[in-house]
Amino acid sequence: MQPAPIYLIDKAPPTPPEKAPRSQPEAAPAAPQPTVRPPSALLQSIADLAQRKALTMLLGVISVGSLFLFWYVGTRYQLEFYIRFKNIPTPWAVYEEAVKVLASGDFYVNVAYSLRRILSGFLIAILIGAPLGLLIGQYRRVREMFMPAVEILRPIPAIAWVPMAIMLWPTSEASIVFITFIGAFFPILLNTVHGVHSMDGVLLRAGKCLGASEPRLFWHVILPASLPQIFTGLTVGMGVAWVSLIAAEMISGQYGVGYYTWEAYSLVNYPAIVLGMITIGVLGLICSGAIRLAGVIVMPWLAFAPGGRK
C-alpha cells in the first residue's frame, strides 16, 4: 500500500513591495502678496489717528485754558492769598496792548533781534558742544583734559557772565550771543557725554570686529546711538538759552523781547510786561517744537522701537 502523498503547504511568496511613487519636485513657495488694507480698515486707522490728535489738542487747550482761567479769576476779583493780583493786568488789557503793539513795526523788530541772537548762540553751542561731547565720552584722555574745566565753569549762571562778556567782546550784540551760547553749551555737552557713556558696548565691539575705521565708528555707531541724548540736551539747552538771552537783553541789550519787557517795567506799563512774557513763552515753545520735529525726522526708528511713543 502506497503511502498517501504529503502535500507541503508553503507560504505564498511575499509580494514585492510596491515602488514608491517618484517624488515630484516641490513647488516653489509663492511670493508674499502685498497686504492691501480694505477701505474700511484704512478709514478706521484714519479715524483712530484723528481721534488721538483731537484728544491731544483737547488736553492742550485744557492745560493752557486753566492758566488763563486762573489769571482771569485772580484779576477779576482782585484775589489776595499770599500772592496779590491787585496790580496784575487783566487778560483783556493785555489783548488791547497786543493789538496796539502789533499794529506798529517796533515789536517785530524786537522779536527778530531775539530770534537772531538765540539761533546764533544756539547754533554755535551745537557745533562746539556736540562734537566735544562725543570726544569726551569716547576718549579717556580727552575727558581727563576737559572735564575739570567744564565742572568749574558749569555752575556759574549765565547772568553772572554778563559783566565779563561786556568786557570781553567789542559790541553788546556779540556779548549777548556769547551769553546765549554759554546757556546752551553745557546742557548739550553733558547730555552728549552721557549719550556716549550709555551706549551699548556690543555695538562698538561689533563695529571694530567688522573692520570699521575710527571715523566710521563715530559716524555709523557712536553718533546714532547718542542721538536721543543729544536731542534731549538740545531741548534743555534751548530753554536755558532763552533764559540767558532775556537776562542779557534786560541788562545790556538795546533791542529784543527782553529789552522790551524791561523797558515796559521801567515805564510801569504792566500790560506790556505780560505781553513780553507771553511772547517769550510762545517763542520758546516754537523753538522746542522745532527741535522735537527735527528729532522725529532724524530718528524715525524711535517711534517704532519697543516702548516707543504711542
* Angle ∠(5,9,12) on CA atoms, nearest 5: 150
Cβ-proximal residues to 85 (8 Å cutoff; 6+ apart), any chain = 74, 75, 77, 78, 79
Q: At what angle do helices 270-298 and 91-102 cross, to 10 degrees?
A: 80
The per-residue pLDDT for 31 is 52
Q: Which fold has domain 104-301?
A: MetI-like fold (1.10.3720)
Higher pLDDT, 8 or 101: 101
User: Domains of the chain: which residue ranges?
Assistant: 64-92, 104-301
The per-residue pLDDT for 9 is 47
149 pLDDT band, cuts 50/70/90, is very high
Q: How far apart are CA 64 and CA 57, in angstroms?
A: 11
Cβ-proximal residues to 197 (8 Å cutoff; 6+ apart), any chain = 137
Burial class (CB in 10 A: 0-12, 13-18, 19+), 173: middle
The per-residue pLDDT for 115 is 94
Q: What grid cell was written down for 106?
A: 517796533
Secondary structure (3-state) at 263: helix
What's the whole-number average pLDDT of the chain? 83
What's the whole-number mean pLDDT along residues 166-177?
89
What's the whole-number mean pLDDT along residues 116-139?
93
